[in-house]
Amino acid sequence: MRTILATGLSFAATAAMAQTPELTIYTYDSFVTDYGPGPVIEENFEATCGCDLTFEAFGDGAALLSRLRLEGDSTDADIILGLDTNLTAEAADTGLFAPHGIETPALDIPIPWTDPLFLPYDWGYFAFMGDASIEAPTSFRELADSDIQVVIEDPRSSTPGLGLVYWVEAAYGDEAPAIWEALADNILTVTPGWSEAYGLFTEGEADAALSYNTSEAYHLVAEGDDTKVAWPFEEGHYMQVEVAGKLASTDVPELADDFLAFMLTDGFQGPIPETNWMFPVVMPEGGLGEGWQSLVEPETALLYSPEEAQARREEAIETWRTALSQ
Amino acid sequence: MPTDGLTLDALTLTQGDFSLSADLTVPEGQTIAVMGPSGGGKSTLLSGIAGFLSPTSGRILWNGQDITPAAPAQRPVTMLFQEHNLFPHLTLAQNVGLALGPSLKHAASPKVADALSRVGLETLGPRRPAEVSGGQRSRAALARILLAGKPLVLMDEPFAALGPGLKQDMLALVDETLRAAGRTLLMVTHDPADARAIADQVIVVEESRALPPTPTAELLDNPPPGLASYLGTSARARSSS
Amino acid sequence: MAHRALPVGPGVAASLAVLAFVLVPLGAVALRAGGAGMPSPGDWAAFRFTLWQAALSALISCALAVPVARALMRRRFPGRALFISLIGAPFILPVIVAVFGLVAIFGRNGWLNAALGPLGLPPLSIYGAHGVILAHVFFNLPLATRMLLSGFASIPGEHWRLAEALNLPRFRFLEWPMLRDRLPGAFLLIFLICLTSFAVALTLGGGPRATTLELAIYQALRFDYDLGKAALMAAAQCAVCLAALALARRVALAPVAAPGLGLPPRLPSGPLWLDALVIAAAGAFLLLPLAAVVTSGLAGIAELPPTIWRAALRSLIVALSATALSMALALLMARTGGRLAEVASALPLAASSLVTGTGIFLILFRLIRPEALALPATIAVNAVIALPFAYRILRPALQQAEMNYGRLADQLGLAGLARWRLMLAPLARGPIGFAAGLIGAMAMGDLGVIALFASQEQQTLPLAMSRAMGAYRMEEAAGAGLLLVIMAFGLFWIFDRGGRDAN
């Protein structure tokens, strides 16, 4: 049944590409938009691989993982690109991924990389993006003591929202509930995803929104706008490291390996900063462009290991929910 | 049992809690007034004959043939309702043309023009019901009945909403068209004058029973008690309104 | 032959298909999970909040609709018909667009607070449970108003004249019986609509206190991969819907009707200033956010990239296909669906489209490539989501047509298609146009399940808009939002107009 339908639907395509191997990559929505990295990376990789690369996009990183779990080992995907380290432990638990086989790659990230299944392709720090006209708080405590109104994302439906919960947890440990309670009157509202939060901020509704410190580069570079700045917090910033992994069920394992290797070269890393607005994991030849130099490098990079993130998730979210439900 | 005309053979009609029995024969070509108190079952009787209501027992025969199981459109019966005799979105000609079959193209048929002219509506075929008077609407409905050519015609107070003058005109028209064509007519009316004017016989419907037809003059000159009190009431009601 | 009940036929099959469309995917999700999940204390809080906000939203929408509909019924003013059409717009507005419109007016830095500031008044906050309810009233007040306007229009002119001649209090003898008849059904309908609120509740709710069941479903499905819990929550929503229907068994869900533009005879009515105030306040509440959407979208709409226009075309195709499918189902169910159609036409209101979409995916993805499924699934889900409204618009219209002209049609032998063509379709033309317009507009703006399936080549306008937002393109997103509003409202207007030209 499936064969008949699939053949019927893609007969023309199959005939034309009988000789061309296909690589299917599942990723998140913003990766594949016209201004995202998808189109240029597809072009760069297809120039060397002699293959047909297809991106399929599903919401955000979490939605991506859910989709993969729904499909299981009958998935069409060869590579999943767009999970972050907060999700990789669960992803590894599915048993659907195969080792990437690349020995301790040389990476320009503030942490050592040892994960055998997943390779990073970009990273950034979570940060509040605020209006440059107001005095920026320098810590969560200072934010809590101010009248500033921020918008955050819900950790139950959004990866930045979850990142913020880990950030507070990693920076404050047992004091996290108290910090959340102190922050409650500074939180204008909680949105389902990054888009709504950031939209409320750019519309002028909120003083700041939880985003990435690289958002500042976007406004400087793409819009020539220096009124929106990332607030450096002295307790350090939680990192987001975005990764890709090869599926064990892939029918083109070598092609998938080629792509993962390509991912750490200029053909992939070059476009990343100004299409995905994150830091590259391997600095491209020309370095970062104008507008990136002014970004403040946090003194402390915070990040839970995938296992720790997985273990802490439920409790951290419950802490957040309880503190903000009062 | 005579085979000519309409026979209601031990018929029982039930509508909710209400039930009506009838066992009677109407000779073909007769004009019958159906009279009786409100709520007595006159409309139920007509609904049953027209086929809108299935009987709980008994049979309906036309010229000896059992028509009880037939759908309304399959019966030798057509009915003029109190209202809603014409579709508001169709012209008079289209409405009349539906008597020839479920298509709007019959509107252009010469038969439709002929039927309209017989009721005095030669020029009004292209108008819609809302664009003509109440009397003209009644005429158009009558034209459809004429064209349908069914031998048995039921009328449920069809002209009650018209003024007395118009009603007389319509009754005269019925007389010179349907009656003259030999159709069998059953007409519900509250007005003894109507009955005297047009009906050969009267069927009294009261106390859940439809009584066999009685010659009009005989009945109205000497009404049974039930009918007498009803006629009296109705006369008083009319004079006070 | 009895005309008390409508004949039963293909509408029963259509009803069964709709029930299956809601329940089978739910079952598929539960089956894959190996059973239902366990609710956590947070889920119980979400359950209570969901019921509470839905009830309050419905109550306030209905309560406010009474003065608005009364004022609109009593007054004639230039542009009245256009005004009634326009204030219906919030109901067909895409959720995310509407939320930004509301924030522009009622937000912390919105127009309202900008006006209050100079007057020395303290700022108002939209965020919190009251913000959720405000948004739900914004969406549903137009619906309730329309239902009541049609209720007022159903009071015969002679009754008004009679009440006047006898000097009877009109409210008590004419308006109140109509309101008592219509309001419970309107309340129930809006309650069910608000039951599945997600983005509104979360964005304006101010925090985790305002968590609804639909968010819990989203979390379970997209974040925790807890299919059992998602199935449990979705089943709870369906159960609430069925319980509400059972509780209100004597209360039919209100028919939704085209606005009663017909006016009762000119009435001596309450003070003019009061009606003017009510109409102006309702107009401001419902139209200012719309104006904000237009204002913020103007800059972006001129520079929309080709992908957005292609997405718009795809959305148009989806909307028209969903309209055709939904109308076909609703017409069959309204005519020959019998009792079953009542339940089948209410359940989609409470169905979680996320669970339905996931279930369809689970059932079909091994048979058909997901990309091939994207548009058909979106069309089907949108058709079913809009069905409750279409059914409620069409059923009374068809019933009325049958009641008035059914015996005439029977006698003329109008059966099957001829009956539709010569009698039902022309007689119900107005409601058919209104229903088609409503479905088309709803389908146009719904983000729905497309996100579960669609690749870049298949994105619809709402999805393209949400993707633009996700890539910092706020101006483009606002432009796309305006385009979406124009298309949704345009589609509604064309269909509704087409239906009204008959009269």
One CATH from 1.10.510.10, 2.30.250.10, 1.10.3720.10, 3.40.50.300 for C302-503:
1.10.3720.10
Which DSSP helix (H) or strand (E) runs through B23?
A: strand B18-26
Instruction: Report percent pLDDT > 90 for chain A.
Output: 67
Contact B99 C412 (CB under 8 A): yes
Q: What is the mean pLDDT of residues A196-211?
A: 93
pLDDT value for A135: 92
Chain A residues within 8 A of C202 when measuring between CB atoms: 154, 157, 190-192
pLDDT band at residue C396 under the 50/70/90 scheme? confident
Is C78 a residue whose pLDDT tops 60?
yes
How confident is the model at residue A39, as a pLDDT?
93
B90 contacts in C (CB within 8 Å)? 422, 426
Average model confidence (pLDDT) across chain C: 84
pLDDT tens per residue, range A37-58: 999 999 999 999 889 999 988 8
pLDDT in tens, B34-78: 998 888 888 899 999 999 999 999 999 999 899 999 999 999 999
Interchain CB contact of C366 with A (< 8 Å) = yes
For strand B18-26 and strand B6-15, is the pairing parallel, antiparallel, or unpaired? Answer: antiparallel
Model confidence at A243, pLDDT cuts 50, 70, 90, reads very high
- Using CA atoms, how far apart are residues A33 and C357, in angstroms rounded to an integer? 23
Judged by average pLDDT, the poorest of A73-77, A201-205, A227-231, C209-213 is C209-213
pLDDT surpasses 60 at C7: no
Fold classified for C40-298: MetI-like fold (1.10.3720)
Question: What is the pLDDT at residue C410?
Answer: 92
Put simply, the answer to whether C408 touches B89 (Cβ < 8 Å) is: no
Q: Closest approach of chain C CAs to the CA of B218, in angstroms?
A: 35
> Is residue A4 pLDDT above 50, yes or no?
no
Beta strands in C119-277 (DSSP E): none
Residue among B53, B102, B103 minimizing CB distance to C2 = B53
- Predicted confidence at residue A264, as pLDDT, reads 93
Distance CA A220, CA A228 (A): 8
Inter-chain touch B72–C427, beta carbons under 8 Å = no
With a cut of 80, say whether residue C450 has pLDDT above it: no
For the cut 50, the answer to whether the pLDDT of residue C86 exceeds it is yes
As a whole number, mean pLDDT of residues C414-438 equals: 90
The mean pLDDT of C104-130, rounded to a whole number, is: 86
CA-based torsion, A187, A191, A193, A196: positive or negative: negative
pLDDT of residue A11: 40
Give the least confident one: A138-142, C17-21, C117-121, C404-408.
C117-121
A321–chain C Cβ distance below 8 A for any pair: yes
- Partners of residue B161 in chain C, C-beta under 8 Å: none
Q: Do B104 and C422 touch (CB under 8 A)?
A: yes
The three-state DSSP-derived secondary structure of B158-200 is: CCCCCCHHHHHHHHHHHHHHHHCCCCEEEEECCCHHHHHHHCC
Is residue A144 scored above 60 in pLDDT?
yes
Are the CB atoms for A201 and A124 separated by under 8 Å? no
Q: Which residues of chain B have pLDDT under 50?
A: 1-2, 234-241
Partners of B52 on chain C (C-beta within 8 Å) are: 1, 3, 407, 410
Token pair, residue A13, equals 């395509």
Cα separation, A307 vs A88, in Å, equals 8
Residue C262: band (very low, low, confident or very high) from pLDDT cuts 50, 70, 90? very low
CA angle C139, C140, C144 (to 5 degrees): 150
Query: For residues A128 and C295, what is the distance between their CA atoms, to the nearest angstrom?
Result: 28
Condensed to tens digits (0 to 9), the pLDDT of residues C67-77 reads 999 888 888 88
Residue of B nearest to C501 (CA): B89
| Residue of C445, C327, C340 lying closest to C389 (CA atoms) | C327
Return the pLDDT at C230.
87
Chain C neighbors of A190, CB-CB under 8 A: 202, 205-208
- What's the pLDDT score for residue C452? 67
pLDDT band at A1 (very low <50, low <70, confident <90, very high): very low
For residue B185, list its beta bridge partners. Answer: B31, B153
B175-199 per-position pLDDT tens digit: 888 888 889 999 998 888 888 888 9
Q: How far apart are CA C214 and CA C194, in angstroms?
A: 10
pLDDT tens digits, C375-392: 888 899 889 988 988 998
pLDDT at C266: 54
CA dihedral A287, A290, A296, A302 (to 10 degrees): -40
Give the residue on A whose Cα is nearest the Cα of C113: A205
Q: Smallest Cβ distance to A1: which of C207, C367, C468? A: C367
Q: Which of C472, C475, C476 to mutate to test the interface with A (most CBs of A within 10 A)?
A: C472
Q: Nearest CB to C408: which of B74, B84, B103?
A: B84
- B53, B127 in Cβ contact below 8 A? no
Average pLDDT over residues C207-228: 83
- The token pair at A271 is 């476009």
> Do the strands A237-247 and A97-98 form a parallel or antiparallel pair, or are they unpaired?
antiparallel
**DSSP code at position C128:** S
The DSSP H or E segment spanning A312 is: helix A306-325
Q: How far apart are CA C385 and CA C329, in angstroms?
A: 12
Q: Residues 37..76 of C with a Cβ closer than 8 Å to A: which?
A: 42, 45
- Cβ–Cβ gap A205/C367 under 8 Å: no
Q: What domains lie within chain A, and their CATH numbers?
A: 2-123+240-280 (3.40.190.10), 125-239+295-325 (3.40.190.10)
* Residue B210 structure tokens: 């439809």
Q: Where are the domains of chain B?
A: 6-76+153-240, 88-149
CB contact under 8 A, C405 and B87: yes
Domain boundaries, chain C: 40-298, 302-503
AA identity, residue C403: M
The strand pairing partners of B184, in sequence order, are B152
Touching C: A residues 21-40, CB under 8 Å: 29-30, 32-36, 38
User: Quick one: pLDDT band at residue C453, thresholds 50, 70, 90?
Assistant: low
Q: Are B147 and B112 in contact (CB under 8 A)?
A: yes
Task: Give the nearest chain A residue to C215 (CA atoms).
Answer: A157
Instruction: Closest CB to A321: pick one of C42, C205, C223.
Output: C42
Structure tokens, A278: 């994150």
> How close A311 comes to chain C (CA, Å)?
13
pLDDT value at residue C185: 82
Quick one: pLDDT at residue C253?
54
3-state secondary structure B71-126: CHHHCCEEEECCCCCCCCCCCHHHHHHHHHCCCHHHHHCHHHHHHHHHCCCCCCCC
Residues in chain B closer than 8 A to C423 (CB atoms): 87
Size of interface B-C (CB pairs under 8 A): 62
The rounded distance, in Å, linking the Cα atoms of C462 and C445 is 6
Please report the pLDDT score of residue A215 as a whole number. Answer: 94
Residue C439's nearest CA partner among C498, C382, C374, C354 is: C382
C-alpha of C276 from chain center: 27
Chain C residues whose beta carbon lies within 8 Å of the beta carbon of residue A2: 366-368
Question: Residues of C with CB below 8 A from A321's CB?
Answer: 42, 208
C 402-421 residues with CB below 8 A of A? none
The per-residue pLDDT for range A269-280, each reduced to its tens digit, is 999 999 999 999
B6-76+153-240: CATH topology: Rossmann fold (3.40.50)
- Residue C165 has which token pair? 């001649």
**Chain C: residue whose CA lies nearest to B105:** C422
What single-letter DSSP state applies at residue B129? G
With contacts defined as CB-CB under 8 Å, which chain A residues touch C131?
Answer: 189
Segment among A59-68, A257-266, C326-335 with least mean pLDDT: A59-68
Residue C1 pLDDT = 39
8 Å CB contact between B25 and B6: yes
Predicted TM-score of the model (pTM): 0.84
Q: What is the C-alpha to C-alpha distance for residues C150 and C139, in angstroms, rounded to an integer?
A: 18
Query: Would you state the pLDDT for residue C237?
Result: 87
Q: pLDDT value at position C252?
A: 56
Interchain CB distance below 8 Å, C422 and B90: yes
The pLDDT value given to residue C260: 42
Which residues 462-501 in chain C show a CB within 8 A of chain A?
466-474, 477
Residue A16 reports pLDDT greater than 70: no
**Other C-beta atoms lying within 10 Å of the C-beta of residue A175:** 14
Mean pLDDT over C255-280 rounds to: 66
Contact A34 C307 (CB under 8 A): yes
Long-range contacts of A171-180 (CB under 8 A, 24+ apart): A171/A140, A171/A233, A171/A235, A171/A236, A171/A238, A171/A302, A172/A140, A172/A235, A176/A316, A176/A319, A177/A319, A177/A322, A177/A323, A179/A140, A179/A141, A179/A144, A180/A319, A180/A320, A180/A323, A180/A324
CA nearest to A143, candidates A201, A185, A204: A185
A-C CB pairs within 8 A amount to: 160
**Maximum C-alpha span of chain B:** 53
